[in-house]
A and B are shown apart, each in its own frame.
Chain A
Amino acid sequence: GAGVSQSPSNKVTEKGKDVELRCDPISGHTALYWYRQSLGQGLEFLIYFQGNSAPDKSGLPSDRFSAERTGGSVSTLTIQRTQQEDSAVYLCASSLGPEGRSPLANTGELFFGEGSRLTVL
């Protein structure tokens, strides 16, 4: 498929373990986002990658969270020493990248993957 692909779709882990979540964006999309959504809550911004620029990490909740994007494509979100409060759906999205001044040139639409549901026991 040509959409955003995330893996694993479900992950159950024990408190204290490390987990890695993977996102494969749409080919050609230079912008990549990670969000977290707890049950019944809104989307919490985690990190944003744009091309070769330094990522915006302002949303990462603690130093246990890190993310990288290799070759401007696939991204991995790593959570070290998981805690129960890390349980959530982790959503990845990609978009074409910076839009021009005309709002019609690029809608800036974000395309989301189906998410990785993380449960920390």
Chain B
Amino acid sequence: RKEVEQDPGPFNVPEGATVAFNCTYSNSASQSFFWYRQDCRKEPKLLMSVYSSGNEDGRFTAQLNRASQYISLLIRDSKLSDSATYLCVVKPFWGYQKVTFGTGTKLQVIP
């Protein structure tokens, strides 16, 4: 089983739609979780951290389910500019920084 698994998509959604991605992780000792965004032929950039209590940043909501070992990203009112690949990121231990990226979920927002 891969350390971090994501549905590669693509998810094709109309503008204004709500879309959600899940990401599962295999190491129950994982402590830190993030969503990164990668535009085509660009480097990944941090979108948001994922906290145990869940967190929201504008149209984006991230949640963590430790019991089922997955994190989710919800995007409301999708914009054309949201089209990108969304990468799930997991760190296993406090203080130990090996970072594992999922293969990413591709989102295409259609006019």
A-side residues, CB < 8 A to B, are: 31, 33, 35, 41-43, 45, 48, 50, 56, 91, 95, 97-101, 103, 107-110, 112-115
Min CB–CB distance B83 → chain A (angstroms): 16
Report the contact-size class of chain B (Cβ under 8 Å from the partner). Answer: 20 to 34
Contact of A45 with B103 in the complex, beta carbons under 8 Å: no
Assuming the A-B contacts A99-B95, A101-B94, A103-B32, are A43 and B101 also in contact, with contact meaning beta carbons closer than 8 angstroms in the complex?
yes
Contact of B97 among A35, A43, A108, A113 (CB under 8 A): A108
Contact of A99 with B98 in the complex, beta carbons under 8 Å: no
Contact of B51 with A103 in the complex, beta carbons under 8 Å: yes
A interface, by DSSP: helix, strand, loop or mixed? loop
What residues on B are CB-neighbors of A109 within 8 Å?
34, 46, 49
Cα of A103 to Cα of B44 in the assembled complex, Å: 21
B45 within 8 A of A: yes
Assuming the A-B contacts A50-B97, A112-B45, A115-B43, are A42 and B102 also in contact, with contact meaning beta carbons closer than 8 angstroms in the complex?
yes
What residues on B are CB-neighbors of A95 within 8 Å?
97
A-B pairs with beta carbons under 8 Å apart, 21 shown: A33-B99, A42-B87, A42-B101, A43-B44, A43-B101, A45-B98, A45-B100, A48-B97, A91-B43, A95-B97, A98-B94, A101-B94, A103-B51, A107-B49, A108-B34, A108-B99, A109-B46, A110-B46, A110-B89, A112-B45, A114-B42
Min CB–CB distance B12 → chain A (angstroms): 17
Interface residues of B in 74-111 (CB under 8 A from A): 87, 89, 91, 94-104
Contact of B32 with A99 in the complex, beta carbons under 8 Å: yes
Contact of A113 with B43 in the complex, beta carbons under 8 Å: yes
